[in-house]
Structures are given as C-alpha cells and as structure tokens.
Amino acid sequence: MYKSYNQIFIGFLLTIFHINIGPLQILPPFVGLLIMFFAIYRLYNISQIKDFRISYKLIAVAILLSLIYTIITFSYNILGNFYYYMASILPSIVYLLFIFYLINGSIKLFDNCWERNILLLRVFTVFHLLTLAISVVLISKFAFNILTLTSLLILINYLIVAYLLYFYRKIAKMDMLSE
C-alpha cells in the first residue's frame, strides 16, 4: 500500500511539473498519469474499494486525452483559438474526477482517520470547479491572458492534493511498519 501511495505521489508531482523544449515536452503529463494508473490499479486490487476502480478508469481517459493534446500542441493549434482552449477544459474535468475518487477512496481505505480529509476534498472540488468555470468565462471573453488569474486557485488545489497524497503515503508507511 505504501508503495502504491508513493508511486501516486511521485506520479502526481510529475504531472505538475512540465519541462518543455520549444513545443516539445520532455516529460509529457501522461508519464505521471501512467505511473498513477498502475499504482491506483494495484490499490484497487488490494482494497477492492469501488472509488479506486472509477479513479483508474478515469486516469486511462486522462492518459488518452493527454496523448491527444500533446500531439495537438506539438503540431500547432489546428482547432482555432476558442475551440482549442475550450476543448482543453476537458482534461481538467477528468483530472478533477479522478483525483476526487482517489481521495474519496483513500478516505474510505483509512476509515476516515482524519476528519479534515473530507473538508479538504470539498475545498479542492469547489476550487477546481470554480477555476474551470472562471476559465470557461474568460475564454468566452477572449481574455486568454487573464487566465493567469486562476493560477492562484490552481496552486491551492495542487497544494491540497499534494498534501493529502503525502499524508496518505505517510499513513500507509506507518501501517506497513506496524505490520
């Protein structure tokens, strides 16, 4: 279990940090997602919690979308500005969903060992939905450069998820040691 959470944590970090050389991404997000996919799949096999099953299936979708978007970005914007930006919202929705089910499954797995889990997940969900809604509105107004305004919310989201995953990793480690 510790190994799974460790991989999920590393995978998550890899999805956050992007290293680009021109249009070419050295570390495309789907590498991190792939690591997370196998880790969550293993977690589901161990725990048989339904939420993990939903989560890894959603990650599979996210990997597919990530691959498509990597190719599209590499071969320039073929969809036109508006539709391209609007379509790029889609992976963010999938991202929200699989993180939600991952955290929700983890809460069940550790039997809600920390009450703030649920609250933090709520904050993440609300912030993420808010960020996406703002993004959609801003894209519609053609104010692409104001999209950076939403980056604060995204940052908070990343911190919440990273913190939660780190927390579960720690709990899983303690479980492993006690066994």
Partner 1 sequence: MELNKNILKYGSIFLVLLILFSTIYYSINRIDNYVFIKTYAEYRLYNPSQSFDLYLIMNGDNLNYLYNEFTNNPLVEILTEDGEKILTSGYLTSPRNNGRYVLVSLEINSHFMFAYDKLKFNKIKLYSNNLKGEKTSKIYDIGELVLINEYDSDLDSNINVRVNDQYSDKPYISIGDIITIDSIDEYLETDIVDTMVDGKDYHDLLGKKFGYENLFIDFKVKDKDSLIFLDRKINYTIDNGIDDSGKNSFSLYFDRKLEDVFSNYQENTIKEYLRKVGEF
Q: How many residues does the chain have?
A: 179
Q: Nearest distance from residue 39's CB to partner 1, in Å?
A: 22
Among 111, 145, 177, 179, the residue binding partner 1 under the rule CB under 8 A is: 145
- Residue 21, phi then psi, degrees to nearest 5: -120, 105
Q: How far is CA 131 from the centre of its chain?
A: 14
Size of the site for partner 1 (CB under 8 A): 28
Q: Is 129 in the site for partner 1 (CB under 8 A)?
A: yes
114: left (phi over 0), alpha (psi -120 to 50) or beta: beta
Q: Nearest distance from residue 69's CB to partner 1, in Å?
A: 16
Contacts with partner 1, 72-91, as mask; x by CB under 8 A: ----xx--xxxx--x--x--
Q: Nearest distance from residue 55's CB to partner 1, in Å?
A: 13
Binding site for partner 1 (CB under 8 A): 76-77, 80-83, 86, 89, 93, 96-97, 100, 104, 107, 118, 121-122, 125-126, 129, 132-133, 136-137, 139-140, 142, 145
